């Protein structure tokens, strides 16, 4: 595997394999240069249908070792890896890692400088800590889901971006990097409790502040950033496609009116909430007179804050994203490139996704396990 020159090059991480938020967090850390060994369940362990690993992009850039963590020899091997690592990341329910013998106390005893990252939905404590849940549940509890959607309509699920990835993965990644910085100064490790409810609540800081000030209504689809304002909205074009319009500031509002052929003197005041439905209707009627691409061509070079609503097929082909290299292709699969950008130590995708256990011997060998140790682990049923 090609070594990355990213800002986290040289950082060694043990990832206890899972789904969703933990893999995405570790994908980001890998893209930034960290050397990560992913510990997966042995193939076929859960009876799931096989999936081509090429398309499991959240697993990109890490090599996988298959271990049975209910096997004492495997637990010993994980602790050996911990002694060589800077970070361990896990996403079990609270208490599971402790039962396996690889909880924080076990791992910090093996490596006192270890950063131990924990990812859960509800957190390590609290009345719901042991309850099952998913992204939609976490953003429901924190007020996020209630705020997203059209007026008089149901809440709209924003994929699983806010709870799993925004409130979970990104906050855990920030926690890992922050704890690593502190550990380099103190020589001591610590535990990160990254809960998706905490992270998704944090993402709502702006809106809780606006609500407390009386500026944000606790009714979705009636505010300036939730599709309530006609100048922060999406409009359908004559070909059934859509454009986003976000002309918040006065100069952008005036440019939008000019492009739409509307006179400011004939329009209600931009900030008169009572007239927003009327403005929206007028905008919608005009946008339906041209195709999406015709509107985009008209707005080319104009400061109006418009953009086409592109599909997953269209987005990688947009000239701006092509120019920046926002998307890339690895092993025939188009996918987002590493972000953010670094001027001196750029990140890179370190390799395509591996199948569980694809490189057990190679990656354990690279982390210092001898051929004799690997043979003993295999004889004990700890690895496959």
Catalytic residues: 134, 164
Report the C-alpha gap between 21 and 56 in whole angstroms.
13
Which ranges of the chain would DSSP assign to H, the alpha helix?
21-31, 72-84, 96-100, 104-110, 135-141, 171-186, 196-203, 205-212, 250-260, 276-287, 292-299, 319-324, 360-366, 371-379
CA geometry: angle at 65 spanning 49 and 20, to 5°? 55
Distance CA 119, CA 134 (A): 13
Return the closest-CA partner of residue 205 out of 125, 135, 142, 137.
142
CA dist 354 and 63 (Å) reads 6
| Cα separation of the two ends of the chain | 21
**From residue 289, how far is each of 175, 259, 261, 300 by CA, in Å?**
49, 13, 12, 18
Cis peptide before 323 (omega within 30 of 0): no
Q: Is 63 helix (H, G, I), strand (E, B) or coil?
A: strand
Structure tokens at 204: 């709502």
Point out which residues pair with 232 in neighbouring strands: 246
76: its two tokens: 């010993």
């Amino acid at each position: 595997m090609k070594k990355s020159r990213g800002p986290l090059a040289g950082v060694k991480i043990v990832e206890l394999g899972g789904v969703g938020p933990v893999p995405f967090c570790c994908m980001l850390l890998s893209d930034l240069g960290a050397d990560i060994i992913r510990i997966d369940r042995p193939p076929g362990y859960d009876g799931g249908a096989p999936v081509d690993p090429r398309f499991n992009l959240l697993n990109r850039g890490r090599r996988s070792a298959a271990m049975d963590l209910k096997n004492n020899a495997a637990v010993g091997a994980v602790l050996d890896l911990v002694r060589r690592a800077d970070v361990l990341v896990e996403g079990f329910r609270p208490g599971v890692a402790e039962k396996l013998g690889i909880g924080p106390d076990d791992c910090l005893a093996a490596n006192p400088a270890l950063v131990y990252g924990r990812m859960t939905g509800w957190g390590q404590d609290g009345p719901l800590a042991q309850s099952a849940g998913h992204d939609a549940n976490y953003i429901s509890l924190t007020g996020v889901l209630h705020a997203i959607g059209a007026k008089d309509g149901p809440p709209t699920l924003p994929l699983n971006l806010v709870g799993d990835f925004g409130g979970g993965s990104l906050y855990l990644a920030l926690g890992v990097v922050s704890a690593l910085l502190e550990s380099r100064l103190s020589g001591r490790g610590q535990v990160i409790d990254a809960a998706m409810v905490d992270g998704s609540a944090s993402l709502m800081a702006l809106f809780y502040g606006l609500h407390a000030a009386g500026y944000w209504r606790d009714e979705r689809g009636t505010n300036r950033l939730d599709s309530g304002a006609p100048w922060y909205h999406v409009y359908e074009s004559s070909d059934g496609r859509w454009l986003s319009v976000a002309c918040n500031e006065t100069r952008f509002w005036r440019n939008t009116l000019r492009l739409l052929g509307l006179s400011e003197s004939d329009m209600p005041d931009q900030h008169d909430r009572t007239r927003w439905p009327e403005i929206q209707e007028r905008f919608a009627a005009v946008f339906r007179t041209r195709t999406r691409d015709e509107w985009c061509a008209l707005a080319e070079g104009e400061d109006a804050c418009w953009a086409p609503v592109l599909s997953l097929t269209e987005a990688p082909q947009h000239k701006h994203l092509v120019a920046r290299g926002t998307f890339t292709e690895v092993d025939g699969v188009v996918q987002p490139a590493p972000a953010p950008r670094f001027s001196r130590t750029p990140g890179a995708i370190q390799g395509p996704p591996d199948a569980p256990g694809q490189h057990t011997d190679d990656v354990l060998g690279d982390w210092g396990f001898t051929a004799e140790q690997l043979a003993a682990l295999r004889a004990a049923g700890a690895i496959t």
